[in-house]
Structure 1
């Protein structure tokens, strides 16, 4: 496998990640609407800790657990930001 083949595979994976990130964000927005209706806070630290624990338990590398947590922190932060914006009607 040459460098171009590897780059093509990275491009394919990047496109898949983009689709997955947007799908996850859409689901977070649905949860945001439910939380709003139930008058629940957007931020749920216990849920985030469970996500980090599950992802690090499933992690087989080569990324270390701290890298996995940082990546998921960023994804969750962006989902939370979007959830706050959308539930306030701030498009």
Structure 2
């Protein structure tokens, strides 16, 4: 066999083994009750509802979140971060 045929056979064998392991259910997570409740509380803090929703003339729905309540600001390093917005539309041409 040449190296191409060997690599194809080897990759098919690896795919077959990985698929059989995932079908057998060996990839389940064993979480304790404490870990599960901690995970649930973290998910509740991440899943913030939108504040305002509106549709444009094309039927596209936009869900808006207050700029200071964005999920990115939940990161521990950004807890006390103040947003600084300096935008001038003509500044790029000056």
TM-score (norm 2): 0.30
- Compare relative contact order (CA 8 Å, sep 6+) and give the higher one, 1 or 2: 1
Structure with more strand by fraction: 2
Q: Choose 1 or 2 for highest CA Rg.
A: 2
Structure with more helix by fraction: 1
TM-score (norm 1): 0.31
